[in-house]
Structure 1
């Protein structure tokens, strides 16, 4: 187990290094932030002073060396836009994204497992056909289109929920609902397929021969053995939700790390862009590691 963790840590560390190098140099290609933060008629002296304060006068390789040295001590620099440590700005936004993703994935996981297991228990039945139909639609529909239609219909036309913000529970309904649809459809299909295979196995037939009821067979005997592929998909969707909530957060004005990243790219706030990517990448690495380790808990035959 320790060897496995070390290998994953080394692989993730190399990936993070490559990510830092790539994003650092690509972000510099967006242009000089001086033109965004100073007036058009600012003097040459003011521009040089601004670049000097933010370390933009040095050659690009020198800038990267200074940045890499500071990152080793978890110093990601200061936000040009907010004049605060970039890491602090990102962690505040990331807490919103993490809460949104956690609430959504909890609802998705519970609903997909229940509906997928029930659909697999009666393959070809009415419930199975309805669940499969809606799950395929949900898995195929693009998030941005669903978000726009939801705002137009539920917020503008019906006036049931706000269009943006986070002030009340009502503000969370549309972002959670939009993020819910795609992973729910994907996970339900995986649960259904895995449960169909598990329900046809020998140990389930033995349990039925012993007189075990249908509910314990579905949710105790078959479900646990069907969870390995399901956990993989849940982990992928959760990681994708942390990394891919950019569109939903931007459309709904949700103050998460996705919206922060887009705003920072447009405003050339390089420190915040890099800190956002680093924090998100670390969260995805930790999540994937925990998912891999959970395999051994669910299936004792697996040992790393």
Structure 2
């Protein structure tokens, strides 16, 4: 297991270096940020001084080498917009995004596993058909459309929920609900399909023949063996939540890392963009490692 995790860490490290190189040079293509932070009538001397302070007066390749040298010392640079360490700005946003994604995934996993398992057990019945219909709808609709419709209905027309902010529980209802829809539909479909396969296996039929009740058959014997493909999808959807939160956070004005990245791109705050990308990539790597560990727990054969 340790050797496998070491290989994954090396592969992820190389991918992260490639990502940093790509984002560094692409972000510079957005233009010189000097015009955004200085008055229109600023003198050339003021512009030159601004570029020198932020290291923008050097050739692009030298800027990159200096940045990588600082990165080795875990110095992510200073935010141009906020005049504070970029990593501090990003970690504040990541905290909000992790809370949003954590609440959403907790609801997705608990509801999708229970409903999907019951739908598989009652395959072809009314409950199964209703669950399948809503899961297909949820997996098909785009997040931004659901978010806009939710704002129009629940904020503009009914006036029940606020459109932005984090001040109360009600501020979280629409962002969590919108992020919930798509992963819930996908995970429910995988749980249902995997459970149908397992429930038709020989050992489940044997358990039924011995007179075991339905609850232990579903949630003890069948569910554990059905969880391997489910965990894969849950991991993918958790990573997708970190990336997909960009749209939802921007629409609802949620102060997470997704909105921070959009704002930083518009503000040409290069150091914050890079720090946000790297922190998000590291979170996804950690998530993949956790999934690998769960694989080995659920199926000991994977350890060998």
TM-score range, shorter chain: over 0.9
Q: Counterparts of 1:14-93 in structure 2 under 5 Å?
A: 14-93=14-93
2:174 aligned with 1:174 = yes
Partner in structure 1 of residue 2 of structure 2: 2
Q: Counterparts of 1:138-157 in structure 2 under 5 Å?
A: 138-157=138-157
Runs (4+) of structure 1 exceeding 3 A deviation are none
Q: Which residues of structure 1 form unaligned runs of 5+? A: none
Partner in structure 2 of residue 226 of structure 1: 226
Distance 1:244 1:19 in 2: 18
Paired residue secondary structure (1:82):
coil
Distance 1:20 1:173 in 2: 35
Partner in structure 1 of residue 263 of structure 2: 263
Q: For residues 188-225 of structure 1, what are the alpha-carbon distances to aligned partners after superposition, in whole Å with 9 as ceiling and x for unaligned?
A: 00000000000011111111111100111011110000
Partner in structure 2 of residue 103 of structure 1: 103
Partner in structure 2 of residue 136 of structure 1: 136
Q: For residues 158-213 of structure 1, what are the alpha-carbon distances to aligned partners after superposition, in whole Å with 9 as ceiling and x for unaligned?
A: 11110110000000000000000000000000000000000011111111111100
2:183 aligned with 1:183 = yes
Once the two structures are TM-superposed, the CA of residue 84 in structure 1 deviates from its matched residue by 0.4
Distance 1:244 1:284 in 2: 13
2:215 aligned with 1:196 = no
Partner in structure 1 of residue 288 of structure 2: 288
Paired residue secondary structure (1:245):
helix
Once the two structures are TM-superposed, the CA of residue 303 in structure 1 deviates from its matched residue by 1.3
Once the two structures are TM-superposed, the CA of residue 257 in structure 1 deviates from its matched residue by 0.1
Paired residue secondary structure (1:286):
helix
Partner in structure 2 of residue 163 of structure 1: 163
Question: How large is the RMSD of aligned CA atoms in angstroms?
Answer: 0.6
Once the two structures are TM-superposed, the CA of residue 292 in structure 1 deviates from its matched residue by 1.1
Once the two structures are TM-superposed, the CA of residue 301 in structure 1 deviates from its matched residue by 1.8
2:273 aligned with 1:251 = no
Q: For residues 97-139 of structure 1, what are the alpha-carbon distances to aligned partners after superposition, in whole Å with 9 as ceiling and x for unaligned?
A: 0000000000000000000000000111000000000100000
Partner in structure 1 of residue 272 of structure 2: 272
Distance 2:145 2:297 in 1: 39
Distance 1:93 1:303 in 2: 36
* Matched residue count: 304
